[in-house]
């Protein structure tokens, strides 16, 4: 097994200075590393096909790879068995580190623990924060779904909502379920989960339209992904409902709807940051033996985007980084 902690010509400060830089680092910088700085990191998520959220995670990871002169191998699959196989493949390829999201921690446990046992550092992102340390990961980078869900529930209560549906677009995703349950606990009103097929936007809109048409008392729709907020806006319009749409996660389309008033707010967990910092954590471990986080998660959110601050983040959303 190759040695994981390689000596580097740069210090921690030099490694951090690489953030935002391209591959034109001076000779002898941390970008060179002991073997030319060319590390290979696998980024393995539970991304479903067509989910724009994960495109931003991938972009962040690839930007970090470019900045650090390293290779990023990105793969995603919503099936935990297939995601586990992707982790096993990365172990077999002897990568220098693995970034992984854990929507179904139990399904990935043996593969992640195998990577750690073989000396491959692992960083978890997005989902599975509560199990990350147990599995041996360096740290977790993401959003506390309990904190974010409670913040949304409080806000819905402050806005006077009475009956809200929470739209779950991935079956079995523990993070999404926690968002809804935490929002419900803080809300105090009636909050019902509605399961949809997140791989089919037309079907999402049809399901929500039917639900709104059958229950005129629904006054709020909480979606758990930006693209599903757009589906919900269409469902509200087509059903004649007066329900307000709010959402987790962000996109340029969501910002446009916030500015129009069709979406009340979005909770941004900054997926680009999750990808970028996930790779950064592995790189610092590779070049300098640093393990960030102090054994605790590193939060990438939540942050509320409303009509008041939407324009300030719009240019970044248009770039595909927010």
Q: Which two tokens stand for residue 129?
A: 């924060």
Cα(201)–Cα(172) distance, rounded to whole angstroms?
19
CA neighbours within 13 Å on the CB side: how many for 161?
A: 30
Cα(165)–Cα(211) distance, rounded to whole angstroms?
9
User: Which residue in the block uniquely carries the two structure tokens 């210090």?
Assistant: 11
Q: Hey, which CATH number is domain 12-142+271-300, 3.40.50.2000, 3.20.20.70, 3.40.50.720, 3.40.50.2300?
A: 3.40.50.2300
Q: How far is CA 30 from the centre of its chain?
A: 28
Domain boundaries, the chain: 12-142+271-300, 145-270+306-318
Cα(226)–Cα(67) distance, rounded to whole angstroms?
28
Cα(276)–Cα(272) distance, rounded to whole angstroms?
6
Cβ atoms of 249 and 225 within 8 Å: the answer is yes
Of the candidates 53, 2, 37, the one whose C-alpha atom is nearest the C-alpha of residue 300 is 53
H/E element holding 315?
helix 310-318
Q: Which two tokens stand for residue 46?
A: 């539970």
Fold identical between 12-142+271-300 and 145-270+306-318?
yes
Other C-beta atoms lying within 10 Å of the C-beta of residue 199: 14
- What are the E-state strand segments in the chain? 40-45, 71-76, 97-101, 122-125, 140-143, 163-168, 190-195, 220-223, 244-248, 263-268, 298-301, 303-305
Q: Which two tokens stand for residue 10?
A: 């740069």
Other C-beta atoms lying within 10 Å of the C-beta of residue 288: 20
pLDDT in the model for residue 303: 87
Cα(180)–Cα(159) distance, rounded to whole angstroms?
17
pLDDT in the model for residue 37: 58
Query: Residue 316: what are its φ and ψ, rounded to 5°?
Result: -75, -35
What pTM did the predictor assign? 0.75
CATH code for residues 145-270+306-318: 3.40.50.2300
Cβ atoms of 243 and 167 within 8 Å: the answer is no
How do the pLDDT tens digits run along the chain, 322 residues long? 433 333 333 333 333 333 333 333 333 344 444 444 589 999 999 998 878 889 999 999 999 999 999 999 999 999 999 999 999 999 999 999 999 999 999 999 999 999 999 999 999 999 999 999 999 999 999 999 999 999 999 999 999 999 999 999 988 888 899 999 999 999 999 999 999 999 999 999 999 999 999 999 999 999 999 999 999 999 999 999 999 999 999 888 999 999 999 999 999 999 999 999 999 999 999 999 999 999 899 999 888 999 999 999 988 888 888 8
Strands 298-301 and 303-305: unpaired
């Amino acid at each position: 097994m190759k040695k994981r902690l390689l000596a580097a010509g740069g210090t921690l400060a030099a490694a951090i200075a690489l953030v935002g830089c391209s591959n034109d680092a001076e000779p002898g910088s941390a970008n060179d590393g002991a073997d030319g700085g060319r590390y290979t990191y696998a980024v393995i998520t539970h991304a479903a096909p067509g989910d724009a959220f994960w495109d931003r995670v991938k972009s962040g990871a690839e930007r970090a790879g470019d900045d650090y002169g390293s290779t990023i191998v990105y793969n995603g699959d919503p099936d935990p068995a297939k995601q586990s196989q992707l982790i096993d493949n990365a172990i077999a390829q002897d990568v220098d580190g693995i970034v992984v999201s854990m929507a179904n921690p139990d399904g990935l446990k043996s593969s992640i623990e195998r990577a750690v046992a073989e000396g491959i550092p692992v960083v978890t992102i997005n989902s599975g924060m509560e199990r990350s340390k147990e599995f041996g990961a360096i740290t977790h980078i993401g959003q506390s779904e309990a904190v974010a869900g409670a913040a949304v529930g409080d806000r819905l209560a402050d806005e006077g909502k009475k009956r809200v549906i929470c739209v779950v677009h991935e079956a079995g995703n523990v993070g999404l379920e926690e968002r809804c349950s935490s929002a419900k606990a803080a809300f105090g009103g009636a909050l019902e989960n509605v399961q949809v097929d997140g791989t089919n936007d037309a079907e999402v809109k049809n399901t929500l339209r039917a639900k709104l048409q059958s229950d005129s008392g629904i006054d709020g729709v909480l979606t758990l992904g930006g693209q599903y907020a757009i589906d919900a806006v269409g469902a509200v319009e087509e059903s004649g409902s007066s329900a307000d749409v709010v959402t987790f996660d962000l996109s340029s389309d969501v910002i446009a709807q916030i500015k129009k008033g069709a979406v009340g707010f979005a909770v941004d967990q900054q997926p680009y940051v999750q990808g970028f910092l996930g790779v950064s954590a592995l790189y610092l471990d590779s070049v300098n033996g640093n393990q960030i986080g102090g054994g605790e998660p590193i939060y990438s959110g939540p942050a509320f985007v409303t009509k008041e601050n939407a324009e300030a983040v719009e240019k970044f959303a248009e770039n595909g980084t927010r």
